[in-house]
Amino acid sequence: MLIYLSAAAAPAENPYGLMEALEQGGVIAYATFLILVGMSVFSFFILFSKLIEQQKVINQAKKVRATFWRSATLKEGSAKLEKNSAYKQLVDDGIMAQEQHSKLTDPVEAHDWMHASLARSEAAINSKLGGGLAFLATVGATAPFIGLFGTVIGIYRALIKIGASGQASIDAVAGPVGEALIMTALGLAVAVPAVLAYNWLQRRNKSIAEDLSGFNNDLLGYMVSNGAVRPAVVAAPAAPAAAKPAAAKA
């Protein structure tokens, strides 16, 4: 009696779960599943690594606005910037372009030479910030089709079972059809976050590129005017004056 009750109380195993569907699908189902999981893992890795990289550049922009244009020379301002930062790279490349212009044997306008050098440096920074986004776009475009491949295989297996059994019973087709639907869902679950991450990172990169372009223009104006032209620097707010001690009573 106790054995019967314990057997009745035990939950029945689900024959149509994820692992059961993969086992029914065999090598093709496992391969499709592993490819989609790998795409998802790399997509999230790129998302978080690019967010950290972008935030560093955004923080550097705040520091540039606060300290750089208060410096007397470009070299002094460059020394205040964070090592290996995007803005320091622009400043150092600008200083190098100034030094190289005096060594040119073929006369080239200083403005054109430095503008081209700064533009090349800015393009390199933007290219680095955009690294990895192509993978997100590829995942967003191909993951649904990879899931669809698993779906087609599942439907094909369902049709084979129907043909072998001679009847389209639920028991015969539930497993393959369930496998097909799971693969479709997995493909969408991988593609949608990748597309959202791609669009978000692209928007942040566009904002960063606008800041870099503005700084580049200010830097070029500073160099071709020998420091006469520079952005207006907002004075730091003064610290509140300490309260004067009350006069001693007579």
The more confidently predicted of residues 64 and 10 is 64
Average pLDDT over residues 94-118: 83
Going from N- to C-terminal start, the domains of the chain cover 39-224
The more confidently predicted of residues 204 and 9 is 204
On average, the pLDDT of the chain sits at: 79
| CB burial of residue 223 (10 Å; 0-12, 13-18, 19+) | buried
Residue 236, pLDDT > 70, answer no
Of the segments 28-32, 95-99, 129-133, 227-231, which one has the largest average pLDDT value? 129-133
Quick: pLDDT tens for 133-154.
Answer: 999 999 999 999 988 887 787 7
pLDDT band at 72; cut points 50, 70, 90: confident
Residue 250, pLDDT > 80, answer no
Residue 62, pLDDT > 50, answer yes
Quick: pLDDT tens for 172-187.
Answer: 556 566 667 778 888 8
